[in-house]
């Protein structure tokens, strides 16, 4: 058995091992109690009261990015990525996440180059593999954001009933953290814990709004801060906000149902050429070999790029913000 016959299995084994190590390092690692402690004591509030843009800044500071040099951790893009990572995978390290993406890209490049011998195809495969962790991160964060948006009206109704029963607002926060489903209950729990440890309630609510990054939740916090300064019936305010959010969600669902045909058409148009190529290859492999060597690889790469561009355009057209 020569070296060339062992090269491809060895590279594939390295790729699988690197992927398993990266996923374990990203989502495993530290114990549960340490994660809870870091989540409760993860930072300090920033910003000034006079700057409106700073009122909903997250609690994390630029130096709170673990595993990266200070000059790189201070970059706005790194800070934004770190906030997404902490929302999608609390307790994960940004350094390990970027290391996972780099490892997947490098290993995929060498595997693709060993198989096909094309630098262009290898670079395209490396870019796609390096983007997979970011794609997974964005998908997980978007699912969490949608779940919190759907849970928010019920949470506001629950808080309104608690206030009508005669309980204080801080007690309402504690009850919501115990009774509501995740992930919204976890945010209210962290807000209550911050307030219990001595942080002013206004600052704790602003930090929570910065972590949630939801427009409806920001409306709730803004109305609450105004009510604490001017007075009034908070339970009635919460009921009005809950009704407004339900109306927005109902309109969003109607828009998604109207644009579902366009999105489904885009998915079919993207999947159809790949499915047909697979069927043709199973029936007549020699006929499809021309696309797998030489200039055929460039044609496949161009077709894939055009398909992704078309899918991106369809997504932009069918995505309507309410």
- Output the pLDDT for position 260: 83
Residue 185 · residue 206 · CB < 8 Å: no
CA torsion 73-76-77-83 (nearest 10°) is 80
* pLDDT per residue as tens, the chain (322 positions): 444 444 454 555 455 555 555 554 444 444 444 454 444 444 444 444 333 333 333 333 333 555 566 666 677 777 778 777 777 776 677 778 888 888 888 888 888 888 777 777 778 788 888 888 888 888 888 888 888 888 888 888 888 888 888 888 888 888 888 888 888 888 888 888 888 888 888 888 888 887 787 888 888 888 888 888 887 788 888 888 888 888 888 888 888 888 888 888 888 888 888 888 888 888 888 877 777 777 777 888 788 888 888 888 888 887 777 6
- CA 131 from centre of chain: 13
Residue ranges of domains in the chain: 3-144, 146-257, 259-318
CATH number for the domain formed by residue range(s) 146-257: 1.20.81.30
Q: Which residues lie closer than 8 Å to 288 by C-beta, 6 or more apart?
A: 277, 280, 281
Residue 16 · residue 105 · CB < 8 Å: no
Kindly state the helix (H) or strand (E) to which residue 135 belongs, with its residue range: helix 119-164
What whole-number distance in Å separates Cα of residue 175 and Cα of residue 173? 5
Residue 158 · residue 180 · CB < 8 Å: yes
């Amino acid at each position: 058995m020569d070296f060339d016959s062992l090269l491809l299995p060895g590279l594939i084994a390295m790729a699988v091992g690197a992927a398993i190590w990266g996923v374990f390092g990203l989502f495993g690692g530290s114990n549960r109690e340490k994660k809870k402690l870091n989540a409760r004591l993860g930072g300090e509030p920033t910003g000034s009261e006079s700057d409106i843009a700073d009122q909903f800044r997250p609690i994390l500071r630029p130096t709170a990015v673990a595993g990266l040099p200070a000059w790189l951790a201070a970059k706005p893009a790194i800070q934004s990525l770190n906030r997404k990572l902490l929302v999608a995978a609390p307790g994960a390290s940004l350094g390990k996440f970027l290391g996972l993406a780099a490892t997947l890209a490098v290993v995929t490049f060498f595997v693709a180059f060993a198989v096909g011998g094309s630098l262009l195809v290898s670079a395209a495969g490396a870019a796609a593999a390096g983007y997979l962790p970011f794609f997974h991160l964005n998908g997980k964060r978007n699912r969490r954001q949608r779940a919190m948006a759907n849970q928010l009206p019920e949470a506001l109704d629950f808080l309104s009933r608690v206030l009508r029963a005669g309980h204080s607002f801080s007690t309402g926060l504690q009850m919501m953290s115990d009774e509501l489903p995740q992930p919204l209950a976890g945010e209210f729990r962290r807000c209550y814990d911050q307030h219990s440890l001595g942080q002013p309630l206004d600052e704790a609510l602003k930090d929570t709004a910065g972590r949630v990054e939801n427009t409806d939740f920001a409306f709730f916090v803004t109305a609450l801060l105004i009510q604490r300064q001017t007075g009034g019936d908070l339970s009635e305010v919460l009921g009005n906000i809950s009704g407004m959010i339900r109306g927005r969600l109902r309109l969003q669902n109607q828009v998604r149902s109207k644009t579902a045909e366009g999105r489904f058409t885009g998915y079919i148009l993207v999947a159809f050429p790949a499915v047909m190529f697979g069927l043709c290859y199973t029936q007549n492999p020699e006929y499809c070999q021309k696309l797998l060597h030489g200039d055929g690889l460039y044609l496949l790469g161009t077709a894939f790029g055009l398909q992704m561009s078309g899918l991106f355009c369809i997504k932009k057209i069918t995505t309507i913000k309410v």
